[in-house]
Amino acid sequence: MADKIREGGEEMKKRQLLEILHILANKVRHKIHEDIGYSKFCIIIDEACDESKREQMAIILRYIDEKGFIKEHFIDLVHVKDIVAITLTEEIYVVLSRHWLDTQNIRGQGYDGASSMWGEWNGLQALFLNDCPYAYYVHCLAHQLQLALVAASREVIPIHIFFSYLNFIVNIISASCKCHDQLQATQTIEITNMMKIDELETENIIENGSNYSICGDAATTYKKITSFDFVFILHLVKEIMGITDILCQLLQQKSQDTVNAMYLVSSTKTLIQKLREDGWDNLLKVVKAFCEKHNIEVFNMDSPYVVKCGHHQHVDFNIEHRYRVEIFNAIIDSQLL
């Protein structure tokens, strides 16, 4: 089969590879169905937009196999016309029915705690409980912890600005890739049509070949990410999340109990407190080294920090105080409260 694929053209190769993937996916789904049989199982649902901005829903099954091991397997990914609870419920029923799984055997349901459609998840829970009274809802504590930590840190104004810019940067990068593909496709059609009627003008291609809005956004983004402020906060957030991620991972372990979870929370807070007391010098050293490597201007920490208020300027403290007290200590304190 591999030899036949190599011998075919590009389109033939793509079709054959897709067919192989489809066959393998069906075999995996069949094995999951065999493992579950008529036993009870839980569903885990998540939603997201694909590159074409269409809503899609991922369905994962959690069950205990015949050997007593807990298994979690991805079963399907489906596009949905909208994210209304009744639509999602119908799509889930269709998928389960397609794979010969009885909805009356559902014994648990879980959803993405960060979803913007949280209200719809609540509606979905209620609909499932109406049909399957034992399909109890279980929230992802680790995911909720991550959300709480980010929300707390955003109470510090410089951190709030950082996350806002971070979101802007992600959108710019995603949009630029998509716009590039769309622009190429549009220009290909336009150039083909112009060649047919012999009206191809080089000047028009040059004039229409750039998007000033994207260029402006890219320039703004580059200026922001190459600033000392952005680099400092990026490394600080990385340090804090490196500590809290350990707790998040442990909370997701299947054997976790409440008493041990409380101990883990306490030990994580101790590590964050240690970062506050002993981590400043090392963090500043790492940030300076990064900036020097990438030709980013490094501030003199002993220089006065000038605060602008309208047309007036005044100096209350130095730059080190600004970064250590108003950012470093402030964000760590927000995690400890």
The CATH number that applies at residue 68 is 3.30.420.40
Inside any domain, residue 112: yes
Inside any domain, residue 121: yes
- 190 and 62 inside one domain: no
Q: Residue 89's closest CA among 109, 107, 70, 115? A: 109
Q: For residue 294, how far is the Cα from the chain centroid? A: 26
One-letter amino acid of 238: K
Per residue of the chain (337 residues), give pLDDT as tens.
555 555 555 666 778 888 888 888 888 888 888 888 888 999 988 877 666 667 788 899 989 888 888 888 999 888 887 777 888 888 889 998 888 888 889 888 887 654 444 455 567 778 888 888 888 776 665 555 666 666 666 778 888 888 888 777 776 665 554 455 554 555 555 545 544 444 444 344 334 445 566 677 777 888 888 899 999 999 998 998 888 887 877 776 656 666 777 888 889 899 999 999 999 999 999 999 999 999 999 989 988 887 665 555 555 778 899 999 999 999 898 888 7
Inside any domain, residue 307: no
When divided into structural domains, the chain yields a total of 2
Which of 118, 139, 160 is the last residue in one of the domains?
139
- 8 and 126 inside one domain: yes
Inside any domain, residue 305: no
- 124 and 156 inside one domain: no
- 28 and 129 inside one domain: yes
- List the alpha helices (DSSP H) in the chain: 2-7, 10-36, 85-98, 118-131, 141-153, 157-196, 202-208, 212-225, 228-251, 258-278, 280-293, 319-323, 330-336
Inside any domain, residue 145: no
3-class state of residue 299 by DSSP = coil
CB neighbour list of residue 102: distance below 8 Å, 6 or more residues apart: 38, 96
- 110 and 156 inside one domain: no
Output the pTM of the full model.
0.56
Q: Residue 228's closest CA among 216, 236, 218? A: 236
Inside any domain, residue 312: no
- 26 and 106 inside one domain: yes
Which of 139, 174, 200 is the last residue in one of the domains?
139
Inside any domain, residue 203: yes
Cα–Cα distance for residue pair 41/92, rounded to 1 Å: 14
Which of 78, 110, 139 is the last residue in one of the domains?
139
Range of the domain at 271: 152-299+325-336
- 117 and 165 inside one domain: no
Inside any domain, residue 309: no
59, 45 in Cβ contact below 8 A?
Answer: yes
- 126 and 183 inside one domain: no
87, 81 in Cβ contact below 8 A?
Answer: yes
